[in-house]
Structure 1
Amino acid sequence: MNFIRNRLLGYGVDDALVDTLSFVILVTIITLLCIIANFITKQVIIRFIAHIVRKHNIKWGNILLERKVLRRLSHFVPAIIIYSFAASFPTYRAAIETLALTYMMIVAFSVINRLLSVFNDIYQTYEISKTKPIKGYIQVAKIVVIIVGIVLVIANLMGKSPLILLSGIGALSAVFMLVFKDSLLGLVAGVQLSATEMVRMGDWIEMPKYGANGDVIDISLNTVMVRNFDKTVTMIPSYALISDSFINWRGMQESGGRRIKRALHIDMTSITFCTDEMIEHFKQIRYLSDYIVSREQEILEYNIANKIDRSNIVNGRAMTNIGVFRAYIIEYLKHHPGIHQEMTLMVRQLEPGENGLPIEIYAFANSTQWAIYEGVQADIFDHLFAIAGEFGLRVFQNPAGSDLKALARGVQNE
């Protein structure tokens, strides 16, 4: 300032205008220096670094560029320049230095927050991030940085020690507990979810209470994000996964098999003992020939050993078409390429009801992929519905409008 003032006096400038012109010229010089420094850092230095990073495909460098950490750091340069020239303005020196320091502190805490995001991005490039996500912890760290930053900035503006402000936070702890209730609950829940591995990235979870049925795509401090199979997104509070029940299908996916548990209902009036003609017909079926022979021999030996009079079909043991049908289904499933043969495979009768006798298939497809699983299940039941008639059985179905019309026509014809 004195240098500029002396030069102006040397040029014969009026004393009344010297101070004003000196102030304007110095402010202009500082402004130009800030603009030039900002241009050099952003347009030259940062571009050069970005070129090197992209040329050599430095992974961590790309993440730093995407998070704009270097651009945020460039804000330090104008602030440092302004702070350096603060002594040139004795009257405003304290205010300028305080504001410049405040700005640098804000930039510093902003850079720290972005570096925390960079650390999380880098961590997510490793496989362990799928089982041990740290996004919740990163968010907690960001909250701490923001709180500390606010305290230090206010202390700097007030010209007081930060300890004075921190001592008053104790009295506001109840308010903080209320404001950050969800965050605190989410932090505790996040620790439990991570420690017990209840939920991982990519898990298929089902939580009807929140309308969630899909894959976990994000686990943060407050929420778990689920992309449903209809491509909608559901946000579930993290603590809800601890306090409420949900289904995690990870075990099914890791097992390599997906359960098929479905029944077809048989009209009970079509169930009967097998006649000789039926038995001969069943012997021609590929999966039943050995079963029929061995079963026929077993029943014959039993009836002879117990001297049972077979003149009445009620006496002794005999094959039924429903029993043979169950045996066929079991053999069919054992030979089906889409069924997991190392897991439970069972065909059972359930309690009969108004819709007939349920014959339930309990087995596991050897693929956990939804489309393949549905294809295997449909293929099995397509076949069973089509061949039930070969065993003299009728699949139960409530009368449709066409059935009632056919019945009415039959009555009229009579």
Structure 2
Amino acid sequence: MIQETENIETTSEAIDFKHLIYDRLVELDISKSTAEYLNMLGLLLVLVIAVFIIDFIIRKLLVKSFNKFATISKTNFDDFMVANKVPRNIAHIIPLLIAMEFTPSIFADFPNFDGVIEKGLRVFAIVLTLWIVRSLLNTVKDYLKTLPRLKDKPIDSYIQVFMIFAWVAGFMSALAIITETPFLSFLTAMGAASAVIILVFKDTILGFVASIQVSINDMVRIGDWITFEKYGADGDVIEINLATVKVQNFDKTITTIPTYALISDSFKNWRGMMDADGRRIKRALFIKQDCVKYLNENEVNKLKNIQLITTYLETRNEDIDSYNNSNNINKDLLINGRNLTNIGIFRKYIDAYLNRHSGVNKDMMIMVRQLAPTTQGIPMEIYAFSSDKRWANYEYIMSDIFDHLIAALPYFDLEIFELPSSSSFKEKTVVSE
């Protein structure tokens, strides 16, 4: 009996709240229909104002508390939470619950409106949940990027994957609410449209798979220098997303590459060079073939004045003379027996010069080799590694080496092959005249 009395009192209080303004308006001889509309609008206005005030107060208190806690905390995770507006988004939960609690009472006389508003609040609750999830994921992303072992990993790709799943789930939940269909039934119906979904999100799916493979195989890291000729990219990787990889070229332009292109196409990653002790120098001088010759004794003695090869020439010359004398070689013709050539001595000079050069890494391979003759002469290739890997310094070292070698060629009676220009023909014409 007591329980029934309490229920009646509770019902009467609820009725009084629902018609808080309505009863007063009826007492003023206003029609019931008008009173119902005015009652609904008045209560709605009160609720909106109350919700905004409560939201403002809770947001200020929560944000202030988080800021205060972040200043005294040793970790920077809470700083990222404040920066990504996690407290601000969480503060909307209580006002939303208040709105959902009192909305049925406000629209008690308008069940059609009540259904629409209730659906709208539930959809907003889903959107608010997505906001909070996004803020938390961005916080986690920013925090993980500060960790040294994860700094060069494609964290953005994984966060985007989670957000895509969250937005898809939220979108489907919202549609299930609007259509008043159970979520599992709606999910089953969406399975029939999976082919269309896969087609629409093809690039996203490919990018997701590519991001996993890139990360597992450690193919590309943020900060790597890559060269991707197909897309005109030559620079540093500054961002790896689910769908794209951003490369800042050395001219400061930005090239965007599809993530899945990293596993479907060929590109060059210079990380191995950056991690090594030197940067490779691989360049050739093309020497005219008709200037290659055997050297007589006077020419060899003249080259002994070049200090880098003095000891080599003395030792080598003694070995050759000993061989020729022991085998009774007729040296009236230089082709007989063993002889020194100007190109061979120049090759030895280059080797000695590289081993003395301060910009060349002596702990890595140093090789001077003669390649097969071409229509442009005989390639004399240098294969070595600079001790400084920085681009500007590397180019300076390489230029310094070849400046010296080009200037040294005439001392060995050698010439670099060069295609004739129009001025060359003019000079010949003048001479013949």
Per the TM superposition, whether the score is higher than 0.5 is: yes
Is structure 2 residue 60 aligned with structure 1 residue 39? no
1:300-336 deviations in Å (ceiling 9; x for gaps): 1111221212232221112111111111000000111
| Alignment correspondent of 1:181 | 202
1:14 aligned partner, one-letter code? D
Counterpart-to-counterpart distance in 1, 2:374 and 2:104: 95
Distance 1:170 1:158 in 2: 17
Aligned residue in 1 for 2:350: 329
1:406 alignment partner in structure 2:
427
Report the CA distance shift for 1:265/1:43 in structure 2 as closer, same or farther (over 3 A): same
- Equivalent pair of 2:22/2:39 in contact (CA under 8 Å): no
Letter of the 2:231 counterpart: Y
Offset of 1:348 from its aligned partner?
Answer: 1.3
**Alignment correspondent of 2:332:** 311
What CA distance in whole angstroms lies between the structure 2 residues aligned with 1:402 and 1:162? Answer: 84
**2: CA distance, partners of 1:54 / 1:271:** 77
Q: Secondary structure at the match of 1:353?
A: coil
Structure 1 range deviating more: 19-28 or 146-155: 19-28
CA distances 1:118-164 after superposition (whole Å, capped 9, x unpaired) = 21221111122245433322222111111111122222233332111
For the 8 Å contact 2:296–2:334, the answer to whether it is kept is no
Contact 1:193 1:199 in 2 (8 A): yes
Matched, 1:25 2:46: no
User: How much has 1:35 moved relative to structure 2?
Assistant: 2.4
How far apart in 2 are the matches of 1:386 and 1:293?
24
| Equivalent position to 2:281, from 260, 263, 273 | 260
**1:135 aligned onto 2:156:** yes
Corresponding residue for residue 9 of structure 1: 24
- 1:368, distance to aligned residue in structure 2 (A): 2.2
Query: In 2, are the aligned partners of 1:267 and 1:396 still within 8 Å (CA)?
Result: yes
Does the 8 A contact of 2:207 with 2:260 survive in 1? Answer: yes
- 1:41 is displaced (CA, Å) by 3.6
**What residue in structure 2 maps to residue 392 of structure 1?**
413
Number of the residue aligned with 2:272: 251
Q: What is the aligned counterpart of 2:363 among 342, 350, 357?
A: 342
Q: TM-score, normalised by structure 1?
A: 0.91
Amino acid in structure 2 at the alignment position of 1:387: A
Distance in 2 between the 1:398 and 1:297 partners? Answer: 40
Aligned-pair identity in percent equals 38
- 2:21/2:39 contact within 8 Å kept: no
Identify which range, 392-401 or 74-83, moves more after superposition: 74-83
Q: Give the equivalent residue in structure 1 for 2:86.
A: 69
What corresponds to 1:166 in structure 2? Answer: 187
Task: Look up the match of 2:250.
Answer: 229
Which residue number in structure 2 is paired with residue 217 of structure 1? 238
Structure 2 partner of 1:299: 320
1:389 CA drift (Å): 0.9
Preserved CA contact (<8 Å) 2:25 2:35: no
Matched AA of 1:289: T
| 1:5 aligned counterpart, secondary structure | coil
Separation of aligned partners in 1, 2:180 and 2:424: 91
Q: Residues of 1 paired with 2:400 and 2:267: CA distance?
A: 31
Q: 1:42 to 1:381 in 2, by over 3 A?
A: same
Closer/same/farther in 2, CA of residues 305 and 170 from structure 1, 3 Å limit: same
CA distance in 2, matches of 1:364, 1:12: 98
Counterpart selection for 1:366 from 372, 387, 393: 387
**SS, match of residue 287 in structure 1:** helix
Say which SS state the counterpart of residue 288 (structure 1) adopts. helix
Distance 1:391 1:102 in 2: 86
Aligned-partner Cα distance in 2 for 1:370–1:272: 38
Structure 1 partner of 2:101: 84
Contact 1:282 1:289 in 2 (8 A): yes
Q: Distance in 2 between matches of 1:38 and 1:10?
A: 30
- Separation (CA, whole Å) in 1 of partners of 2:334 and 2:371: 26
Deviation at 1:296, TM superposition (A): 0.7
Bigger mean CA deviation after superposition, 327-336 or 94-103: 94-103
Amino acid at match of 1:35: F
Contact 1:5 1:19 in 2 (8 A): no
Distance 2:231 2:25 in 1: 80
Relative to structure 1, is the Cα distance of residues 173 and 20 closer, same or farther in structure 2, using a 3 angstrom cutoff?
closer
Normalised to the residue count of structure 2, the TM-score between the two structures is 0.87
Quote the Cα distance in structure 1 between the aligned partners of 2:125 and 2:396: 62
How many equivalent pairs are there?
412
1:120 maps to: 141
1:9–1:15 CA contact under 8 A, matched in 2: no
Residue type matched to 1:123 in 2? L
2:262 equivalent to 1:241: yes
Alignment partner of 1:146 is 2:167: yes
